[in-house]
Structure 1
Amino acid sequence: MLYIALPLYWKEVGLDSIWQVGVLLSINRFIRLPFNPIVGWIYSRISLKTGLVIAIILGSITTLGYGLLNGFIAWIILRGVWGIAWSFLRIGGLSIVAFNTEENNRGKSIGLYNGLYRLGSLVGMLAGGLLVPILGLSTISIIFGSLTLLALPLIFLYVKTTPLKDHEQDNTEKVIFKGNSYINSLKQGRGRIIFTGFCITLLFQGIFISTLSSVIEQNHGESVILFGTVISATFLTGIILSLQWIWGPFLGVRFGTWSDGVKGRVPVLIISLIFASLTFGIISNEIPILVLIFFTFLVMIAATSLTTIVDAIALDISKNSNVVSFITTYSMAQDLGASIGPFISFLIIGLVNGFSYIYWGGAIIFLLLAILWSNSYKRHGKSISISNVALEKQ
């Protein structure tokens, strides 16, 4: 919700300048960088259920605070606390998927997981685009903060109380990977997948989501005529971005299932990177609104595929190491990319052709990543096609 509403309604919450929007949209991820290792350490000593309860309570308090408090300093604190809450949610959620899946279904499972939790983003995007102009950001924040508490009964009913360290021990005793070449390729791939995760979140979560409403407003004005109807730029952005959360559970599962197949995850990753490089930069051009919407859909399809595949590869690698430790490191890289994105974006968009610099620069990054993974795939072949490596019991 904030990524759509805050860039346009920042004065309502007591901000003094547009640069403060970039700081607020970034600070929660910067906070997660030092807190992710702490949260990972805490998870090794508590149960998943306890960690998720902490996350929900903190998340509810901060969202209520958006509606009750004004001013840059107050919002800095709220966004920081929300960052800690998300660390508990992210590390706990990925750990559940890693511990409860195998190589031949992990892509499908992470696609379903990502799709389901982003259904919440669907509600947020629609509310941000439709209801904020009518009811105001403060009222919507109070409603959302109250609704967040509804997750607590579900956690108590369905999440086990077993500490993560017990899962870790069970995993080590049960499974080993066949073949030294595969283990070596996993070790070599850790830095590559962490860097890729950083870039994906930088470009999609950090830049694309936080600036799309500004791109539409820059090229088409605060109101857009679509099929004879005048709608606000915020509402249009909400509709566009919400569609990704609608198709997320379906396309995410489909892309994940493809990566679980015989050829593995890397070929699907390379194709998705090339596809993203061909479509990402066009969004910044002054093109008809329907053409802009079309290319935005293509970019979001690429985002769904890349997020699913990169997360699946990261979980594959984590199973050959300390799961919580690697997931914590991977999450830190993602948070760094997502936090830098809005901050850089709102500094650059004020320049002449600033949007072009951001989006065409992102297209180049996607292309370079495709080249990086293609070269690695040619050198190692199926040893880095994670999904088709057999597992055996000790």
Structure 2
Amino acid sequence: MPRALLIVSAAVALSLLGDQMIYVVLPVVHETVGVPIVWVGILLSANRWVRLVTNTLASVVVARWGRLWPFVLALFLGGLTTLAYGVVSGVGVFLIARLLWGTSWSFIRLEGLSTALDVASEHTRGRYLGLYQSISRLGGAVAMLAGGILHDLIGFRATFILFGILTCTGAVVVYYERTRREARASATQGRNMAAAALEPQPSPVQATAAIDIDTTTRWRMAVASLNTFSNFLVTALVSATLGYVLRQRFGTTITLDTWTIGVASVTGLVLSTKGFLDLAFAPVAGRLADRWGRNCALLTAMPVAMLALGALALQPPLWVLTLAVLVLYVASTSLHVTLDAVASDIVPPGKRRAFLSLFVTWQDLGSATGPLLGYWIAPHFGLVGLYCCGVALLVLGTGLYLTTFVRSRQPMPVNAGL
């Protein structure tokens, strides 16, 4: 694995410690930090909504000022927001911190994706995107696993301060590593230029015309964006409503033989598996997308996601419900990695950063919309109909993908499969 990608992925993982930790502890300590229960959901989703604006802002700033300083400053800002969770109280301050974190994440995620694409070739994009996703999500998995334990041992405030310091340390390491590598590259370039000055120079070449995107490429971008929106919406919908489903089906506790387990514990256990499934399966999904081709990988994962969501709509027994959620998470991870690779394949390199900012905005919109649909619509129309609508959305996305990428005469930039 390239050193540059490893360091950036590790820094991204550290930046996620505070964000994932707050999902674990804020519902528990909200009264201690002066946050009414009605504000908990708003605070936990505020960072997603602000990214609908700041993703584009990140692309513009990076194009104007370069990649190093925006990334380093975003890491520091992310660390400061994590520190703030440990030292402040009140809705207003927490809301500002969550909005600032969402802004930071727009820059952090853009640099992470850009680095993965920088070091990858056409035939290793899926692999490196999968590795990046796996390592970066390690921070979330560690925060959820260790955050609760540290909360009980040293308190939530000390835990947030520790996580904030670790995030800022990651920013320092990134700055040192990047400047050291750039200094070495500059020295090498200087030697090459001195040697080239002694050789005959070719005739000057006219500047390359500005890159334009044709209608076919724009349509492909739209279809890829719809599919990633659908994937994130469905996954967020199921994750947000799992506890509601279990409570409606089984009450406050679930009895397994002689064991009685609280619904909250079962919900937390099932939801926590997503981070570890991302960690384990994302590199595998990336390799399969490179080996099988994007089309085969996506058109395998999509029906699996549909079947899993359809099984949830049938109100199955507990073991089938749990298995369906886990299968959906695996399919979602595969779709995430594959669609990231598809997005980078179809856009010219000169336009890639701007499109990736728009592309991940659709992911954020799906993640933010899923829970809202679950708790606004489900009480009135039921979750069964909502899950069926999710299946229909996946079917629509798959149909558009088939007609656009598979049956189109224009080939994908890499071996697409099928």
Q: In 1, are the aligned partners of 2:220 and 2:405 still within 8 Å (CA)?
A: no
Work out the CA distance in 1 between the residues paired with 2:113 and 2:272: 23
Counterpart of 1:392 in structure 2 is none
Q: Which moved more, 1:265-274 or 1:106-115?
A: 265-274
Counterpart of 1:107 in structure 2 is 126
Q: What is the Cα deviation at residue 220 of structure 1?
A: 3.8
Counterpart of 1:194 in structure 2 is 225
Q: What is the Cα deviation at residue 203 of structure 1?
A: 2.3
Work out the CA distance in 1 between the residues paired with 2:44 and 2:111: 23
Q: What is the Cα deviation at residue 230 of structure 1?
A: 5.1
Counterpart of 1:387 in structure 2 is 414
Q: What is the Cα deviation at residue 223 of structure 1?
A: 4.8
Alignment of 1:254-269 (within 5 A): 254-261=284-291, 264-269=293-298
Q: Deviations over 1:278-308 (max 9, x none)?
A: 1124346654433322111101111110101
Work out the CA distance in 1 between the residues paired with 2:348 and 2:54: 23
Please state if 1:240 is matched with 2:264: no
Work out the CA distance in 2 between the residues paired with 1:106 and 1:300: 21
Work out the CA distance in 2 between the residues paired with 1:132 and 1:282: 37
Q: What is the Cα deviation at residue 24 of structure 1?
A: 2.2
Change (3 A) 1:83 1:183: same
Q: In 2, are the aligned partners of 1:4 and 1:237 still within 8 Å (CA)?
A: no
Counterpart of 2:392 in structure 1 is 364
Please state if 1:334 is matched with 2:353: no
Match of 2:303 among 274, 281, 289: 274
Q: In 1, are the aligned partners of 2:224 and 2:401 still within 8 Å (CA)?
A: no
Please state if 1:14 is matched with 2:43: no
Change (3 A) 1:369 1:101: same
Change (3 A) 1:42 1:228: farther
Bigger relative contact order, structure 1 or 2 (CA pairs below 8 A, ≥6 apart)? 1
Q: What is the Cα deviation at residue 186 of structure 1?
A: 3.5
The amino acid across from 1:239 in the alignment is: L
Change (3 A) 1:150 1:289: farther
Q: In 2, are the aligned partners of 1:25 and 1:343 still within 8 Å (CA)?
A: no
The amino acid across from 1:330 in the alignment is: F
Q: Deviations over 1:84-104 (max 9, x none)?
A: 110111111111112221111
Work out the CA distance in 1 between the residues paired with 2:145 and 2:248: 21
Alignment of 1:1-394 (within 5 A): 1=20, 2-6=22-26, 10-18=30-38, 20-127=39-146, 138=157, 140-159=159-178, 185-204=216-235, 206-225=236-255, 231-261=261-291, 264-283=293-312, 286-349=315-378, 351-352=379-380, 354-380=382-408, 383-384=411-412, 386-388=413-415
Change (3 A) 1:84 1:299: same
- Which secondary structure state, in structure 2, belongs to the residue aligned with residue 280 of structure 1? helix
- Which secondary structure state, in structure 2, belongs to the residue aligned with residue 74 of structure 1? helix
Q: Deviations over 1:44-94 (max 9, x none)?
A: 244433223212221122223223333333322111011011011111111
Q: What is the Cα deviation at residue 310 of structure 1?
A: 0.6
Work out the CA distance in 2 between the residues paired with 1:320 and 1:124: 35
**How many residues in Structure 1 have an aligned counterpart in Structure 2?**
368
Q: Which moved more, 1:77-86 or 1:359-368?
A: 359-368
Change (3 A) 1:157 1:229: farther
Change (3 A) 1:322 1:128: same
Change (3 A) 1:184 1:259: farther
Work out the CA distance in 2 between the residues paired with 1:229 and 1:133: 25
Q: In 2, are the aligned partners of 1:125 and 1:239 still within 8 Å (CA)?
A: no
Looking at CA atoms only, which structure, 1 or 2, has the larger radius of gyration? Answer: 2
Q: Which moved more, 1:114-123 or 1:64-73?
A: 64-73
Work out the CA distance in 1 between the residues paired with 2:31 and 2:386: 25
Counterpart of 2:3 in structure 1 is none
Q: What is the Cα deviation at residue 127 of structure 1?
A: 4.1
Counterpart of 2:186 in structure 1 is none
TM-score, normalised on structure 2? 0.76
Q: Deviations over 1:32-54 (max 9, x none)?
A: 12222222122124443322321
- Which secondary structure state, in structure 1, belongs to the residue aligned with residue 407 of structure 2? helix
- Which secondary structure state, in structure 2, belongs to the residue aligned with residue 14 of structure 1? coil
Q: In 2, are the aligned partners of 1:318 and 1:327 still within 8 Å (CA)?
A: no
Work out the CA distance in 2 between the residues paired with 1:49 and 1:74: 28
Work out the CA distance in 2 between the residues paired with 1:12 and 1:225: 33
Identify unmatched segments of 5+ residues in structure 2: 1-19, 183-204
Q: In 1, are the aligned partners of 2:226 and 2:397 still within 8 Å (CA)?
A: no
Q: What is the Cα deviation at residue 3 of structure 1?
A: 4.1
Q: In 2, are the aligned partners of 1:131 and 1:140 still within 8 Å (CA)?
A: yes
Change (3 A) 1:62 1:342: farther
Change (3 A) 1:59 1:355: farther
TM-score, normalised on structure 1? 0.80
Identity across the alignment (%)? 29
RMSD: 3.3
Q: Deviations over 1:296-342 (max 9, x none)?
A: 11011111101010111111123444222111121222222222233
Counterpart of 1:179 in structure 2 is none
